[in-house]
């Protein structure tokens, strides 16, 4: 959904734009093509590999500012660069293709010999190995249910506990094997990998993907110039729900209970919704890139 994201930003040649999840620089490259010499692009990523990539890619562009940070530190990044307001912000909440396709990063349930890692920021301590081998049964069930919406969470957690009593569960393949024998055959869906929900849950837990998301979206909105846009691409319902509710709240004037005859809250809308329903990938893109099937794009504009 590259073109949809870029078009949604409505880039001005002299504007200031932030790519909160720079990754391999794909989105940033297209933003730069629309920026003039007086425009500025700020690239943020917590993955040091991504920072090295975009630093090399944009070394000849003095109007690109690259910051190694979690985008949830948005306020600190702007303070560091002495920037008060911006004209557009893009957040792609998906795991990058590089992270998924690099076996040693441990994100993919297809890489059987890969270590259980899943850290987007490899400078942090907590890994998927730590979660799988260190969390209690109750905590594992919570993670799998809350972040993976896995209805067989209890069985999977029990089998993880049992398996790790013999030896540590250290590879993606070992974990996949445990998951496979935990899900009843009749419940296994054709075309959907048994481990998909568990791996999603572990990745969210390891990287704290949901924590602070609502707060940073609110912060970003407060730092948009009038008519500035915030564009968010999500890949699972948990993230999309947070984005949707936060956007709807900030696009509403009155939040009083419907039983109150007149408004007493004084709440004023800060943004307008550009699309009330999320934009999804075209059938053609979904056929070419299966990862786009779950993608949902939401766009708001500062009033």
pLDDT of residue 190: 67
CA 77 to chain centre: 18
Residues found in the chain? 303
Please state, in angstroms and rounded to a whole number, the distance separating the CA atoms of residues 138 and 9. 43
pLDDT of residue 97: 81
Burial-class residue 79 by CB neighbours within 10 Å (0-12, 13-18, 19+).
Answer: exposed
Please state, in angstroms and rounded to a whole number, the distance separating the CA atoms of residues 253 and 190. 46
| pTM for the full predicted model | 0.94
Please state, in angstroms and rounded to a whole number, the distance separating the CA atoms of residues 67 and 81. 9
DSSP 226: E
Please state, in angstroms and rounded to a whole number, the distance separating the CA atoms of residues 25 and 242. 26
Whether the CB-CB separation of 146 and 211 falls below 8 Å is answered with no
CATH class of 2-93+211-302: alpha beta
Please state, in angstroms and rounded to a whole number, the distance separating the CA atoms of residues 191 and 185. 14
Kindly report, residue by residue over 194-212, the tens digit of the pLDDT.
999 999 999 999 999 999 9
Assign domain 103-207 to its CATH superfamily.
Putative methyltransferase TM0872, insert domain (1.10.150.170)
Domain boundaries, the chain: 2-93+211-302, 103-207
The three-state secondary structure class of 259 is coil
Give the number of other CB atoms < 10 A from CB of residue 39: 19
**Is it true that 2-93+211-302 and 103-207 share their CATH fold?**
no
Kindly report, residue by residue over 261-289, the tens digit of the pLDDT.
888 888 999 999 999 999 999 999 999 98
pLDDT tens across the length of the chain (303 residues): 999 999 999 999 999 999 999 999 999 999 999 999 999 999 999 999 999 999 999 999 999 999 999 999 999 999 999 999 999 999 999 888 888 888 999 999 998 899 999 999 999 999 999 999 999 999 999 999 999 999 999 999 999 999 999 999 999 999 999 999 999 988 777 667 899 999 999 999 999 999 999 999 999 999 999 999 999 999 999 999 999 999 999 999 998 988 888 888 889 999 999 999 999 999 999 999 888 999 999 999 999
């Amino acid at each position: 959904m590259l073109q949809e994201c870029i078009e949604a930003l409505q880039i001005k040649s002299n504007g200031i734009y932030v790519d909160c999840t720079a990754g391999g620089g794909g989105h940033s490259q297209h933003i730069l093509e629309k920026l003039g010499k007086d425009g500025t692009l700020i690239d943020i990523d917590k993955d040091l590999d991504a920072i090295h990539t975009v630093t090399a890619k944009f070394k000849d562009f003095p109007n690109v500012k690259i910051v190694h940070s979690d985008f949830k530190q948005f306020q600190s990044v702007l303070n560091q660069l002495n920037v008060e307001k911006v004209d557009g912000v893009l957040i792609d909440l998906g795991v990058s293709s590089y992270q998924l396709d690099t076996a040693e990063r441990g994100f993919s349930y297809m890489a059987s010999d890969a270590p259980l890692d899943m850290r987007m920021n490899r400078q942090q301590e907590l890994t998927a190995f730590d979660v799988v081998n260190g969390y209690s049964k109750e905590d594992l069930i919570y993670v799998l249910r809350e972040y993976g919406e896995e209805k067989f969470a209890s069985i999977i957690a029990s089998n993880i506990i049992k398996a790790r009593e013999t030896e540590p569960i250290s590879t993606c393949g070992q974990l996949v094997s445990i998951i496979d024998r935990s899900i009843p055959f009749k419940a296994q869906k054709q075309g959907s990998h048994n481990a998909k929900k568990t791996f999603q849950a572990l990745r969210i837990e390891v990287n704290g993907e949901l924590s602070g998301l609502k707060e940073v979206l609110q912060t970003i909105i407060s730092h948009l110039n009038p008519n500035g846009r915030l564009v968010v691409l999500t890949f699972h319902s948990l993230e999309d729900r947070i984005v949707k509710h936060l956007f709807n709240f900030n696009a509403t004037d009155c939040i009083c209970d419907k039983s109150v005859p007149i408004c007493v809250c004084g709440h004023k809308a800060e943004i307008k919704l550009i699309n009330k329903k999320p934009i999804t990938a075209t059938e053609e893109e979904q056929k070419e890139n299966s990862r786009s099937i779950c993608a949902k794009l939401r766009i708001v504009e500062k009033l």
